[in-house]
């Protein structure tokens, strides 16, 4: 047997290594098969066989068949054999297909014709490309005749020969690991081949023990429900929501009883609730076990052989590897996939709860947790949406009584021009509609809503932690330990190159083989990554600045228009078109940043898939966060802040003034910017892209298959598509990072700037109702079945959510104090108002400017206003021109600034204190779950103590039978006996060492 031990793996527990090596040796001794003995049935004469230049041992087939634990192989099947059970089983209709390997092949026409005519087998010496690049010569040796035939193989076919040899070696090693494989005859000159893999019981049980998979035991205990008000309300709520429950009868949990689960071990197999070995492990667990074997199985011998299916896919030996779906979702026969489609993946089921247990059973815990998290997030958006609607309606109800809005509509102040030369003076009353629209989102209720949303974010995270813990208990994940991961193929390749380079040095004899890459090996990747991220940040800021320049220049051009309607709609036109441009730029850069983040993570050469994923998430989040929120940050905190004043404006490109906020402030424009970007991003990127791109790829694949030339096949034989064919045409699963990322960005829209857009939770809720069904439909119908991955939390995403929740408090504090007019209104009402009301607030916020102080060439060229205008008004807190310090910041400016900073500090500390208080009050683990976990551990200890007690009784009975007859006790003097393990009596109380306490 080839060395398939885990010696090259990352360091793990010594006991585990010894156990796996012993298991591998046991399997090797029972299933080491020569390449000419792959099948139990006689092989066809014209079927090519490949042998290798590695040392192999032959096997007595009689011993092989006599051992019931040896794998039954059915390697090569004639293409005309009947199909069985929709392609979910081997041709015998009994062994289930647990995994499929797909590969692209290209057969040598000369060799294939020689094999068909002569009945020869291909004998390869295992060599690949020769150094001179010449054609390789292969010998075709007949199984019935001694003469040979020499065929010239073109150099372009040498790579295919190498891949074929790797596949044959890999498949042989899979069989040595205990798996059973089946493959069809390659009936075309080129095409796609499929290898079906079945895991028998002995392989499943061995790997389940090594992976410590928890399975239910026979021990059942009753889950007692506490009596109380909360329990009664829960029962009433359950009756009310019963129509919204999915109709998944066979997965309805019996809440009154639960099986105790324990790590699978063959030594205690009698303790488990095994009714049928074929169905004891569900399909997701079976495919996961097979994938674990695929990850560690090598394809060649030697120090530098490829190991693992990921490396073989990376070098093109295989095209893909995937588990099968449970049949067609449109079949009349009920299966889990059909149930998911009917009760979950249809838009008509939008009002139903998600069948989380069925999702977990079919896709695994990792995907189950994602949809559970998405469901909790969507549910908690309902109260946030209700409060947001109330805040918006409050703005509508108080619109006619809002004094600042009424004053803007009534006052006829002459305002200073908005641009040089071509812009005229204008009346304040023309901004009446803008002021009223601003009040809908800029009112005292938005402050309350900001506090509410900060506490809502904390409640959401706390509720999810409790929900996550409940799911971990129900899914037996409470004791899940982090598994040791294998290095990624790219990491192993880099380490291999490093070791080879070291061997070529002069002191190669003294050099030791490196076991890992050091920080020096990663310095180039880190440097490129940091430089690229800074460059991307600069690119994002450049895009924002470009849009600013567009707004400034477009405003100036429209102001010079002779059409009065054009001049009247400058602000509306510029704002709407600029937001659309921002949205398009965000969508384009989003796709670019996703690819760049992946490339930057690859050049850093992370060791494991988990490390790769975490680094990719951090980079993607930083780039996409900056890309999505940079335009919004500009409008919220920078627009109109550094424009100067009349007579001393700040210019860009020497001719264009920086843009100002609307008379009612920038909050209304911030609301427009936020709503369009949020809705456009969700509608276009999250929905249309997710629907359109997979369908376009699927259409392209179909058109490509239809365009296959007829001469590529050397047979007229066809068969209906099997399940592995249908799944191969689906899109491969690329991970949950894109799904989480779009929801995290949406979470930012809901929490970070909610003070400017109270309806954001409502739009997020409507989007998520569609998003859940869209993702469900994609997973069930458009994607290949993912590998089942165990996980007990959502990982780094929780830390990102927690960080954004804290950041939202700070940002909303600044939005309320600096972007809205909430603080200036309070300062005016309590410090400067003579009546203690808001009367005169607009006049208080406007300063005076003497029109004679305009710089030459900046005053309006042609004005429709009276020529005797001497002063105009502008929005700022500055001294009037007739004061001793004209145009300097006034006392009111510093009072408002101090109040704004004080509010930021007070708001931040108060909300943070309330959030921490909620976090401290609400326990992370529900009380009933904590008690059930303790009870389950105690009962599990009792089960094992009882088992050990029964073993002791068996030993005692066995020894008593073999003991000689007892002598007459009357003739013997009394003496004391030392207690021993064999003399333990069941009637006696166990010693203190055998007692146990509640865990």
Strands 76-77 and 180-184, bridge-based pairing: parallel
The DSSP string of 355-421 is: -HHHHHHHH-HHHHHHHHHHHHHHHHHHHHHHHHHHHHHHHHHTGGG-HHHHHHHH--PEEPPSSSS
Which stretch of 176-190, 337-351, 352-366, 506-520 has the lowest confidence by average pLDDT?
Answer: 506-520
pLDDT(51) > 50: no
pLDDT(54) > 70: no
Instruction: State the average pLDDT over residues 67-84.
Output: 44
Instruction: State the average pLDDT over residues 829-849.
Output: 90
Average pLDDT, the chain: 78
What H or E segment, with its residue span, contains residue 427? Answer: strand 426-427
Q: Which residue has better confidence, 961 or 843?
A: 843
Q: How many CA atoms lie within 13 Å of 292's alpha carbon, on the beta-carbon side?
A: 26
Return the closest-CA partner of residue 954 out of 942, 964, 946. 946
Q: What are the angstrom distances between the C-alpha of 860 and each of 435, 561, 569, 869?
A: 26, 14, 19, 12
Beta bridge partners of 104: 192
The DSSP string of 742-780 is: HHHHHHHHHHTTTTT-TTHHHHHHHHHHHHHHHHHHIII
Residue 109, pLDDT score: 53
Return the closest-CA partner of residue 738 out of 774, 792, 791. 774
Helix (H, G, I), strand (E, B), or coil: what is residue 614? helix
pLDDT(225) > 70: no
Band of the pLDDT at 913, cuts 50, 70, 90? very high
* Whole-number Å distance between alpha carbons of 90 and 183: 9
* Whole-number Å distance between alpha carbons of 169 and 538: 50
Instruction: State the average pLDDT over residues 692-714.
Output: 65
Q: Angle at which helices 570-603 and 667-680 pack, to 10 degrees? A: 50
Residue 231, pLDDT score: 72
Backbone phi and psi for residue 536, each to the nearest 5 degrees, phi listed first: -65, -35
pLDDT(640) > 90: no
* Whole-number Å distance between alpha carbons of 480 and 258: 18
Beta bridge partners of 138: 151
Report pLDDT digits (tens) over 524-550: 888 998 999 999 999 999 999 999 989
Which stretch of 94-103, 260-269, 483-492, 499-508 has the lowest confidence by average pLDDT?
Answer: 499-508
pLDDT(663) > 90: no
Residue 391, pLDDT score: 93
Helix (H, G, I), strand (E, B), or coil: what is residue 4? coil
Helix (H, G, I), strand (E, B), or coil: what is residue 195? strand
Band of the pLDDT at 4, cuts 50, 70, 90? very low
CB-based contact 328:726 (threshold 8 Å): yes
Instruction: State the average pLDDT over residues 408-433.
Output: 86
Residue 452, pLDDT score: 92
b/e 159-194 (16+ beta carbons within 10 angstroms → b):
ebbbbbbbbbbbbbbbbbbbbbbbbbbbbbbeeebb
Residue 520, pLDDT score: 80
Residue 955, pLDDT score: 80
pLDDT(348) > 60: yes
Report pLDDT digits (tens) over 717-762: 466 788 898 899 888 998 899 899 999 999 999 999 888 889 999 9
pLDDT(436) > 80: yes
pLDDT(653) > 80: no
CA dihedral 553, 554, 555, 556 (to 10 degrees): 50
Instruction: State the average pLDDT over residues 421-425.
Output: 83
């Amino acid at each position: 047997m080839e060395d398939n031990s885990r010696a090259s793996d990352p360091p793990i527990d010594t006991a585990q290594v010894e156990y796996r090596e012993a298991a591998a040796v046991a399997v090797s001794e029972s299933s080491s098969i020569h390449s000419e003995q792959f099948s139990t049935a006689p092989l066809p004469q014209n079927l090519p066989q490949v042998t290798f230049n590695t040392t192999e041992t032959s096997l007595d087939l009689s011993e092989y068949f006599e051992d019931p634990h040896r794998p039954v192989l059915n390697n090569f099947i004639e293409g005309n054999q009947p199909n069985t059970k929709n392609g979910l089983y081997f041709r015998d209709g009994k062994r289930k297909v647990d995994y499929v390997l797909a590969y692209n092949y290209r057969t040598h026409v000369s060799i294939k014709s020689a094999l068909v005519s002569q009945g020869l087998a291909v004998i390869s010496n295992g060599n690949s490309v020769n150094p001179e690049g010449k054609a390789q010569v292969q010998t075709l040796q007949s199984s019935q005749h001694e003469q040979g035939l020499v065929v010239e193989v073109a150099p372009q076919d040498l790579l295919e020969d190498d891949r074929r040899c790797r596949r044959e070696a890999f498949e042989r090693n899979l069989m040595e690991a205990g798996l059973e494989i089946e493959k069809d005859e390659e009936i075309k000159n080129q095409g796609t081949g499929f290898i079906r893999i079945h895991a028998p019981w002995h392989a499943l049980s061995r790997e389940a023990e090594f992976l410590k998979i928890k399975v239910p035991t026979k021990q059942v205990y009753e889950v007692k429900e506490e009596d109380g008000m909360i329990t009664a309300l829960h029962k009433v709520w359950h009756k009310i929501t019963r129509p919204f429950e999915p109709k998944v009868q066979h997965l309805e949990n019996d809440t009154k009883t639960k099986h105790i689960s324990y790590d699978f071990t063959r030594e205690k197999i009698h303790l488990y609730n095994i009714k049928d070995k074929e169905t004891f492990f569900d399909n997701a667990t079976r495919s996961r076990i097979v994938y674990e074997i695929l990850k560690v199985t090598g394809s060649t011998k030697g120090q530098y052989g490829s190991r693992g299916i990921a490396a073989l896919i990376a070098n093109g030996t295989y095209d893909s590897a995937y588990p099968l779906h449970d049949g067609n979702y449109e079949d009349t026969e009920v299966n889990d996939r059909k149930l998911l489609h009917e009760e979950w993946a249809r838009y008509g089921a939008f009002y139903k709860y998600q069948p989380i247990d069925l999702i977990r059973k079919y896709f695994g815990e990792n995907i189950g947790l994602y949809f559970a998290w998405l469901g909790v997030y969507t549910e908690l958006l309902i109260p946030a949406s209700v409060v947001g609607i109330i805040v918006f309606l409050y703005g509508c109800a108080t619109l006619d009584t809002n004094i600042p809005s009424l004053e803007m509509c009534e006052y006829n102040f002459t305002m200073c021009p908005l641009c040089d030369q071509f812009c005229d003076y204008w009346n304040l009353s023309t901004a009446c509609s803008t002021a009223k629209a601003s009040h809908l989102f800029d009112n005292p209720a938005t402050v309350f809503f900001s506090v509410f949303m900060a506490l809502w974010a904390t409640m959401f995270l706390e509720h999810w932690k409790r929900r996550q813990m409940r799911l971990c208990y129900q899914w037996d994940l409470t004791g899940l330990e982090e598994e040791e991961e294998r290095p990624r193929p790219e990491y192993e390749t880099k380490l291999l190159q490093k070791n080879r380079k070291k061997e070529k040095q002069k002191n190669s004899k003294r050099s030791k083989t490196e076991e890992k890459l050091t920080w020096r090996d990663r310095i180039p990747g880190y440097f490129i990554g940091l430089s690229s991220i800074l460059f991307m940040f600069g690119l994002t800021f450049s895009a924002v600045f470009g849009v600013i320049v567009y707004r400034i220049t477009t405003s100036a051009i429209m102001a010079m228009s002779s059409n009065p309607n054009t001049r009247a709609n400058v602000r509306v036109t510029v704002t709407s078109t600029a937001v659309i441009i921002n949205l398009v730029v965000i969508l384009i850069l989003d796709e670019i940043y996703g690819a760049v983040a992946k490339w930057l993570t690859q050049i850093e050469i992370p060791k494991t898939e988990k490390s790769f994923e975490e680094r990719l998430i951090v980079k993607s989040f930083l780039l996409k966060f900056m890309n999505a929120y940079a335009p919004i940050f500009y409008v919220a905190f920078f627009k109109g802040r550094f424009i100067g004043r009349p007579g001393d404006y700040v210019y860009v490109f020497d001719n264009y003034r920086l843009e100002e906020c609307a008379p009612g402030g920038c909050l209304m424009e911030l609301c427009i910017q936020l709503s369009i970007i949020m809705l456009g991003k969700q509608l276009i990127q999250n929905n249309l892209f997710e629907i359109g791109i997979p369908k376009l790829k699927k259409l392209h694949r179909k058109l490509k298959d239809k365009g296959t030339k007829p001469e590529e096949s050397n047979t007229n034989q066809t068969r209906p598509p099997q399940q592995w064919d249908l799944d191969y045409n689906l899109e491969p699963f690329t991970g949950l990072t894109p799904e989480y990322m779009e929801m995290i960005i949406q979470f930012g829209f809901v929490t970070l700037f909610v003070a400017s857009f109270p309806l954001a939770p409502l739009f997020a809720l409507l989007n998520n109702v569609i998003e859940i069904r869209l993702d469900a439909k994609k997973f069930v119908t458009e994607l290949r079945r993912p590998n089942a991955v165990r996980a007990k939390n959502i990982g780094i995403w929780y830390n990102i959510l927690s960080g954004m929740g804290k950041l939202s408090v700070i940002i909303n504090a600044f939005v309320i104090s600096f972007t809205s007019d909430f603080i200036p209104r309070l300062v005016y009402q309590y410090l400067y108002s003579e009546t203690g009301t808001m009367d005169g607030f607009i006049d208080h916020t406007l300063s005076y400017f003497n029109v004679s102080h305009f710089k030459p060439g900046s005053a309006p060229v042609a004005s429709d206003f009276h020529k005797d205008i001497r002063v105009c008004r502008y929005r700022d807190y500055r001294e009037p021109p007739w004061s001793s310090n004209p145009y300097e910041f006034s006392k009111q400016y510093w009072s408002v600034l101090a109040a704004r900073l004080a509010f930021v500090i007070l708001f931040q500390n108060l909300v943070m204190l309330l959030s921490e208080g909620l976090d401290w009050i609400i326990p992370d683990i529900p009380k009933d779950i904590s008690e059930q976990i303790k009870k389950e551990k105690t009962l599990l200890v009792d089960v094992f103590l009882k088992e050990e007690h029964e073993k002791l009784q068996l030993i005692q009975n066995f020894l008593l039978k073999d003991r000689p007859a007892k002598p007459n006790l009357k003739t013997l003097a009394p003496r004391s006996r030392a207690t021993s393990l064999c003399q333990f009596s069941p009637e006696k109380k166990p010693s203190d060492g055998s007692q146990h306490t509640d865990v």
